[in-house]
Chain A
Amino acid sequence: MTLDLVPVLPELLVVAAAVAVLMWGVFVQRDTTRDGFVIAIVAMVAAIVALGAIGGDRRLAFDGLFVLDRFAVFTKIMILLAAIFTASMSVDFLEREKIGRFEYPALVLFATLGMMLMVSSNSFLSLYLGLELQSLSLYVLAAYHRDSTRAVEAGLKYFVLGALASGLLLYGISLVYGFAGTTAFGPLAQLLGSGGATAKIGVIIGLVFVMAGLAFKISAVPFHMWTPDVYEGAPTPVTAFFSSAPKVAAMALFMRVLEGPFVHLFVEWRQVVVALSIASMVVGSFAAISQSNIKRLMAYSAIGHVGFALVGLAAGGAIGVQAVLVYLSIYLVMVVGTFAVILSMRRKGAMVERLDDLAGLGKTSPMLAFVMGVLMFSMAGIPPMAGFWGKFYVFMAAVQRGLWPLAIIGVLTSVVAAFYYLRIVKIMYFDEPVDGLDRVLGRPVALVMAVATVGVLALTFIPGPLLAGAKTAAMALFPAAG
């Protein structure tokens, strides 16, 4: 058996960088946090280039445990971009708060690696290990600021609940393995397609447990309890990372599992996805209304957005997957930009994170307010902003596949959600200004903010390339149809 390492080249780059960051940090006797970030970002950019060079047709590696197809390439590029942007925003924050340590970029790299392995998994074994690699790194990152009680609490909560979710997932996987006799995705799909009727009920129970475990990772209601506390307690750049890359990775994994091995159980898993979706949309919209902390607000916003993305998944098929990918890409741009704004919310050198702190921002720092305004309009899904197109595609997919009620609930809850996004705009432009925020803006943060704003505007007016990319990526999950 020869070892084909070409499909895992991007992952190898990321691993090598992570180990290099650790070695450099241990052996160089000075603060190497900044060097670590440089190594990490260079490696991730190199990984994107490598993905572009290799990407294309479906390739298996490691005896079918690993798969690289257009779907994986598309989501990996999204994950890497999110990681690059959030990592570059972290440098200034860590230095200003004086909590910079070289393990931070290494853990970001390991988490990113875990996500890349997740979206490329072609067996439940590789799925689980990738997921754990990601989660373990994220638990540590959540508690990274160990002198802050809130951060430690966030890390602990995340760890305990995450371990529970992993337990559910493993239980589901073992049930599926017990009843189907294989953990590989391909044979599993064949087996379920051929109608192994006696084993079916056991597999379905296993499927439900697997979905519960994965729903925890995307923080879909009712598995969302950890989200607000973790988002609030973790250091802000970590929160930015949490709400971007892992969400994309877990959603992509959700799609790969449901549309891959379980594609023939569509009727069964669709009910679960619809229930998760409705609950997430409702809780995400209504619970966010009473929040006064912007990080908590973003947590509920993330829950709501996951609910909208799940609408597309419930629609199913290539069209549904395409809609989810479009939605996630747009969400990624918006959420990274919003966190860039949140990161620049400091008054007299200290971070502030209450909504009231934004009051009068339109007068004190008009550029910041403009950026935030654009992002909030987009998040709310006001036409013609990019966020509207994201919602448009998932709802259209749902309607085309006959899920009228789901689409209607989605539209209604997005109207409710629009309230709290627009309230931020109102606070910024119409409330009496309090003391202005500090006007120092780190260069990377300003850059990310600019990229995100331009990104949102670009996706608003020229969504074509994204749609086409998402379409080819979605088709890769359905080799028979394409």
Chain B
Amino acid sequence: MIETFIFYMYATILVASAVMVISARNPVHSVLFLILCFFNAAGLFVLLGAEFLAMVLVVVYVGAVAVLFLFVVMMLDINLARAREGMMAYLPTGAVVGLVLLAELVVVFSNWGFAPHIAAEVQAPMAAYAHLTNTDALGHLLYTRYVYLFQISGLLLLVAMVGTILLTLRRRPGVRKQTIADQVARSSRSVEVRKVPTGGGV
């Protein structure tokens, strides 16, 4: 009972905020609604018992991607009035494409079915890990059977990092940068505290 209630709560908020993402006038509001979307989707994953996915969704999408979006949206000066120009001209074509997609989805889902033996495998894909939480189970697999792939993925990220630095880092002379060591090393004598009389100036 309570489960059903929570599901509908998350689902309703999810769909509503998804609608708001595309209909909000202010792009910053859109991004904020997107974050709300992600949180609700994460809630749905928890209900499904996929708590690892829920965590990843929050950490990766809310923590990194959405914040990045927010930065981009705030830094770019997007003229919404211009973006909405020609809305009426594109509407018929867009509506037709949307209807075709909808019809196809209906056709697909009205004939949807799993092979009989799949149904058994969906619930416990790895019998040996059935008693673990799925974060545990993923860890067990990732660091034992797939440690090779895990390590190569690490190397891939290293190459990506090296490549980014190689292609973008420029050492320019005369740039004023913050040197934390210098700041910390300043002695107390370089700062003087004075009593300034009101209206007197230094």
Question: Which stretch of A34-42, A123-131, A244-252, A270-278 is in the interface?
Answer: A123-131
Q: A1-B144, A101-B166 are in contact. Are A110 and B149 (CB under 8 A)?
A: no
Per a CB cutoff under 8 Å, which of A15, A65, A136 touches B156?
Answer: A136
Number of chain A interface residues as a range = 20 to 34
9-residue interface stretch from A139-147, A186-194, A306-314, A411-419: A139-147
B159 contacts A125, CB within 8 Å?
no
**Nearest chain A CB to B139 CB, angstrom units:** 15
Asked whether, in the complex, the Cβ of B152 is within 8 Å of the Cβ of A107, the reply is: no
Q: Which residues of A contact B159 (CB under 8 A)?
A: 107, 110, 133, 136-137, 140
CA distance A106 to B161 in the complex (A): 12
Complex Cα spacing A155 to B163, Å: 11
Q: Verify B167–A140 contact, CB threshold 8 A.
A: yes
Closest to A111 in B: B159
Q: Which residues of A contact B146 (CB under 8 A)?
A: 63, 65, 125
State whether the Cβ of B147 lies closer than 8 Å to any Cβ in chain A.
Answer: yes
CB pair B149 A106 closer than 8 Å: no
Complex: chain B residue closest to A3, CB-CB: B147
Chain A residues contacting B144 (CB-CB under 8 Å) are 1
* Residues in B neighbouring A139, C-beta threshold 8 A: 163
Q: Is A62 an interface residue (CB 8 A)?
A: yes
Interface residues on B, range: 10 to 19
Which B-chain residue is minimally distant from A117 (CB atoms)? Answer: B152
Minimum C-beta distance from B146 to chain A (A): 8
> Known: A129-B153, A132-B156, A133-B155. Is A66-B148 also a contact (CB below 8 A)?
yes
Write the nearest CB–CB distance from A229 to chain B, whole angstroms: 18
Contact B163 A129 (CB under 8 A): no
Give the distance to chain B from A40, nearest Cβ to Cβ, in Å. 14
B148 engages A126 (CB within 8 Å): yes
Asked whether B91 is an interface residue with its Cβ less than 8 Å from the other chain, the reply is: no
Q: How far is the CB of A101 from chain B (nearest CB, A)?
A: 7
- Determine if A385 is an interface residue (Cβ-Cβ < 8 Å): no
On chain A, the residues within 8 Å of B155 by CB distance are: 15, 110, 113, 133
Q: Which residue of B lies closest to A104 (CB)?
A: B166
B103 within 8 A of A: no
Query: DSSP class of B's interface residues: helix, strand, loop or mixed?
Result: helix
B91 → A minimal CB distance (Å): 31
A94 contacts the other chain (CB 8 A): no
A22 at the interface (CB under 8 A from B): yes
Within 8 Å by CB of A146, from B147, B152, B160, B167, lies B167
> Are the CB atoms of A136 and B145 closer together than 8 Å?
no
Residues of B within 8 A of A133 (CB): 152, 155-156, 159
Q: Is there an interface contact between A140 and B166, defined as CB atoms closer than 8 Å?
A: yes
Instruction: Check A136/B148 contact, CB under 8 A, given A113-B155, A129-B156.
Output: no
Q: State how many angstroms separate the Cβ of B145 from the closest Cβ of chain A.
A: 5
Judged by a CB distance under 8 angstroms, whether A103 is at the interface is yes
Residue contact B167 to A125, C-beta cutoff 8 Å:
no
Instruction: Beyond the given A63-B148, A129-B156, A139-B163, please list 17 additional residue pairs across the A-B interface where CB-CB is below 8 A.
Output: A15-B155, A61-B148, A62-B147, A66-B148, A125-B149, A126-B148, A126-B152, A129-B152, A129-B153, A133-B156, A136-B160, A136-B163, A137-B163, A140-B162, A140-B166, A140-B167, A146-B167
Q: Footprint of A on B, CB under 8 Å?
A: 144-149, 152-153, 155-156, 158-160, 162-163, 165-167
Q: Could you show 14 A-B contacts with beta carbons less than 8 Å apart?
A: A63-B145, A63-B146, A65-B148, A66-B148, A110-B162, A126-B149, A129-B153, A132-B156, A133-B152, A133-B159, A136-B159, A140-B167, A143-B167, A144-B166
